[in-house]
Amino acid sequence: CTEDVITQHVLEGLALQELKNLHDTGYIPDKYNAWKSAAELLAMHAASIRERSGPGGGPLDTVSAFKWRWKLDITADRVLRKLTHRELRYVLRRYNGQKPLGEVVEEAIACPTEEGNAIGSVVPDAPGTRAFARFHRLEIIDPVSESAVFGDANLSFALNLAKHRKALGHVGRIIATTFETLETLQERYKEIGETIKTLDEHYAEVYHG
């Protein structure tokens, strides 16, 4: 029947260890459940088991996930969080537990930026954990699409967006707007002139209220 096909699909998507867990615990979904199908109950149960076997404590960033995977201590966590984007990416790619983390970190610091590597050369000197998070968020933006920022008081968000899009090789236009007039902004933010100049260098357009 259709239900059996869907349940089979769920089972085929599970890892061997997850299938073994289902077998050992004797789990059987309630096929007479009034709200969920057997396939849905099975998928929810498998997801629950998977979550319990992972790290706790809420959302994890790149470093926290890496630390949990390799069972590293808090000292390693502090070291990793001090690395730049280029250095952290090197460590995450090369570390396999066969040599001390400190040695891999030293290699990462000494290794030059990989020219021609679009991923490794993106904002190489930016803080590692922050760059990792923003890198993947910005990847969903069409490189040639336009971006508009509305009501950005001191234009700091627009400036960060412009820098990151340029580093990613995006060519889409950035339009930044403020609700206040330029005169008001100059009174409130002493850095506004330099910010607008930098935005102009990144081919962004700035409009004031």
pLDDT tens-digit readout, 78-87: 999 999 999 9
Helix (H, G, I), strand (E, B) or coil at 110: helix
State residue 189 phi and psi, 5-degree precision. Answer: -125, 110
136 pLDDT exceeds 70?
no
The one-character DSSP state at 100 is -
Distance CA 118, CA 6 (A): 40
Predicted pLDDT of residue 118: 54
Predicted pLDDT of residue 152: 95
Q: How many CB atoms lie within 10 A of CB 167?
A: 18
**Residue 31, exposed/middle/buried by CB under 10 A (0-12, 13-18, 19+)?**
exposed
For residue 173, give the nearest of 200, 152, 209 by alpha carbon: 200
User: Roughly how many angstroms between the first and final C-alpha of the chain, as a whole number?
Assistant: 63
What is this structure's pTM? 0.59
